[in-house]
């Protein structure tokens, strides 16, 4: 990856239904935008719970499983000022926190132009770490660029064709 430390290893799953809400130990509303969202790098501004964050992510590796990430907290005023520099499109979501099988799952329920899409992410210590999946975790979409938040600002879920949305929302086979 070129950078030591700061490597985010994460798996992502589609979520159907809202059963995760009864398992959640907390939630917060998130607004985020992208100053840069090229395939090899993203620069993100986020507001969450009255706090601002500036995040730089490098290119994905391991089939989308890992990527370099650098994040720093900034003030809410700084974040609001940086939103003026963002590319068109923004993400509005509620993040639900679910503890399951020794892991923390972050379940993002999207609003606005991505309404109807819910995705769960879990961070891992290594790419080979085993995960006990909760019942709400559906089809894995790790590495599928359509589900990157930066992609959803450019091509929101509500702009997808009926067939694409139906494919995403169908129950997982298993």
pLDDT tens track of the chain, all 174 residues? Answer: 334 458 889 999 999 899 999 999 999 999 999 999 988 899 999 999 999 999 999 988 777 778 889 999 999 999 999 999 999 999 999 999 999 999 999 999 999 999 999 999 999 999 899 999 999 999 999 999 999 999 999 999 999 999 999 888 876 655
- Burial class of residue 73 (count of CB atoms within 10 Å of its CB; 0-12, 13-18, 19+): exposed
Torsion angle, alpha carbons of 153, 121, 36, 85, to 10: 70
Question: In the 8-state DSSP scheme, what is residue 133?
Answer: -
Q: Is 20 a catalytic residue?
A: no
Q: Which residue has the tokens 């879990």?
A: 122
20, 34, 68, 148: the catalytic one is 34
Cα gap 42→59, rounded to integer Å: 8
Strands 26-38 and 66-74: unpaired
Residue 56 sits at φ, ψ, to 5 deg, of -115, 130
Question: In the 8-state DSSP scheme, what is residue 142?
Answer: T
Q: Mind listing the domains of the chain with CATH numbers?
A: 7-169 (2.40.320.10)
DSSP H helical ranges for 51-124 = 76-83
pTM: 0.91
């Amino acid at each position: 990856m070129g950078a030591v430390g700061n490597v985010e290893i994460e798996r992502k799953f589609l979520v159907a239904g809202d059963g995760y809400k009864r398992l959640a130990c907390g939630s917060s509303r998130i607004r985020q935008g992208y100053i840069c969202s090229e395939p090899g790098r993203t620069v993100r501004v986020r507001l969450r719970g009255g706090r601002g964050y500036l995040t730089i992510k490098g290119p994905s590796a391991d089939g989308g499983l890992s990527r370099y990430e650098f994040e720093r907290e900034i003030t809410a005023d700084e974040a609001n000022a940086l939103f003026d520099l963002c590319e068109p499109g923004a993400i509005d979501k509620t993040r639900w926190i679910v503890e399951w099988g020794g892991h923390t799952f972050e379940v993002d329920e999207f609003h606005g132009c991505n309404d109807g899409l819910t995705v769960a992410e879990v961070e891992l210590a290594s790419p080979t770490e085993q995960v006990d999946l909760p019942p709400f975790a559906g089809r894995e979409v790790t590495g599928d660029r359509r589900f990157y938040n930066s992609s959803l600002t450019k091509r929101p879920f509500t702009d997808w064709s009926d067939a694409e949305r139906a494919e995403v929302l169908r129950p997982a086979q298993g």
